[in-house]
């Protein structure tokens, strides 16, 4: 049987009331090197964001206070404010970067990203994100990383409080390493969770259990590194090789695979290139038979699960007692 992506749902309703196109955009790369500072080419960043939203129908953008830090939310505001009514901006807080670096490629070091979930800090970060984005309410606020040194009830408690005050519409959890089923259930006993954001792509399906659980619950699953931070679609990337015999690209194959994987998947591929953005958004041209999908999956799995090396190691802070 041939699956055409046009037969799949194109939208998903977040938290029961925010309908977005499943093909969104991850803005993280619109910063300086090492996810630090303003974008090197702010005019290009603005053009790309406007093209995505005004010309290509993207109405779901993912950012975080730690991207830049701050600069990523600011460039989104510069490009798109006043916002179209249907634009949903998801941001995150609760994790900080200690300086400019590319942790995904820092093979010999532990990640320098640090979870910081103290309620006073989260409260401050929500206020700063509101200010930088120029919004009265954040559509989806994701706890960037669960802080092992702070009770989860305190981290989510302060965010639930800010939601009651009308400053947050929906709450989500994001993982580094991935949010587990147990953590999600623990969180849901404290507050409604509308989305989970975990590393997940065709070559690294370690987040499978969490994805299946979110699908059962009908909450969004937002895979980060959908293209393996670009490595799966490089000249020798597994997706590039898997798509070699087809009339579509490796990036289109990997994104189509995620869209097909489950109707609650929301895509946030990142790019600084308008040409790549357009290519990615045209993933609907992927048409494969079930046997060809199985072949592509097998090829990518045989290549070994892909994962940024440092993510497997605990952050320095986590080794220290509370």
Interacting residues with ligand NAP (CB under 6 A): 26-29, 62, 174, 176, 197, 224-230, 233, 251, 268-273, 276, 279-280
In the sheet where 88-93 sits, what is the strand order?
25-26, 60-62, 88-93, 138-143, 168-174, 195-199, 220-224
CB of 174 to ligand NAP, least distance (A): 4
The residue (of 21 and 174) whose beta carbon lies closer to ligand NAP is 174
CB of 268 to ligand NAP, least distance (A): 5
Cis omega before residue 177 (within 30°)? yes
Answer whether 94's CB lies under 8 Å from 115's CB. Answer: yes
95: which strand partners?
115
Token pair for 110: 């532990």
> Half-sphere exposure of 308 toward its Cβ, with a 13 Å CA cutoff?
24
Give the DSSP H or E segment for 48: helix 42-50
The residue (of 289 and 304) whose beta carbon lies closer to ligand NAP is 304
The residue (of 251 and 296) whose beta carbon lies closer to ligand NAP is 251
CB of 191 to ligand NAP, least distance (A): 19
Q: Can you count the helices (H) and strands (E) in the chain?
A: 10, 13
The residue (of 130 and 176) whose beta carbon lies closer to ligand NAP is 176
CB of 243 to ligand NAP, least distance (A): 11
Spatial distance between the Cα atoms of 114 and 112, rounded to a whole number of angstroms: 6
**What are phi and psi for residue 153, nearest 5 degrees?**
-65, -30
Give one word for 173, left, alpha or beta, with left for phi > 0 and alpha for psi -120 to 50: beta
CB of 27 to ligand NAP, least distance (A): 6
Tell me which residue has its CB nearest to ligand NAP: 270
Answer whether 226's CB lies under 8 Å from 207's CB. Answer: no
Spatial distance between the Cα atoms of 27 and 38, rounded to a whole number of angstroms: 12
The residue (of 29 and 165) whose beta carbon lies closer to ligand NAP is 29
The residue (of 78 and 290) whose beta carbon lies closer to ligand NAP is 78
DSSP annotation of 66? T
CB of 235 to ligand NAP, least distance (A): 10
Which of the following is catalytic: 67, 83, 141, 200?
A: 67
Token pair for 172: 């989500």
Is 83 tagged catalytic? no
Token pair for 10: 């194109």
Would you name the residues annotated as active-site residues? 67
């Amino acid at each position: 049987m041939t699956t055409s992506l046009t037969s799949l749902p194109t939208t998903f309703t977040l938290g029961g009331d925010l309908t977005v196109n499943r093909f969104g955009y991850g803005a993280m790369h619109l910063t300086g090197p090492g996810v630090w500072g303003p974008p090197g080419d702010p005019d290009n960043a603005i053009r790309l964001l406007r093209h995505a939203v005004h010309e290509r129908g993207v109405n779901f953008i993912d950012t975080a206070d730690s991207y830049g830090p701050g600069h990523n939310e600011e460039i989104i505001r510069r490009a798109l404010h006043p916002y179209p009514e249907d634009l949903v901006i998801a941001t995150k807080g609760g994790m900080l970067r200690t300086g400019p670096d590319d942790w995904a490629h820092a093979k010999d070091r532990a990640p320098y990203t640090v979870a910081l979930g103290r309620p006073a800090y989260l409260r401050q970060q929500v206020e700063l994100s509101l200010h930088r984005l120029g919004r009265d309410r954040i559509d989806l606020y994701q706890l960037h990383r669960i802080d092992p040194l702070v009770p989860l009830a305190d981290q989510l408690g302060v965010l639930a409080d800010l939601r009651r005050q009308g400053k947050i519409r929906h709450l989500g959890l994001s993982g580094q390493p991935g949010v587990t089923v147990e953590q999600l259930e623990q969180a849901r006993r404290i507050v409604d969770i509308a989305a989970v954001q975990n590393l997940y792509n065709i070559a690294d399906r370690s987040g499978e259990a969490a994805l299946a659980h979110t699908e059962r619950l009908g909450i969004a699953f937002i895979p980060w590194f959908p293209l393996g931070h670009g490595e799966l679609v490089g000249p020798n990337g597994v997706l590039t090789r898997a798509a070699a015999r087809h009339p579509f690209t490796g990036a289109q194959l990997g994104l189509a695979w995620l869209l097909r994987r489950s109707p609650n998947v929301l895509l946030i591929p990142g790019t600084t290139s308008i040409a790549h953005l357009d290519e990615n958004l045209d993933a609907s041209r992927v048409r494969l038979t079930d046997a060809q999908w199985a072949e592509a999956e097998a090829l990518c799995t045989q290549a070994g699960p892909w994962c940024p090396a440092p993510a497997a190691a605990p952050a320095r802070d986590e080794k220290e007692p509370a």
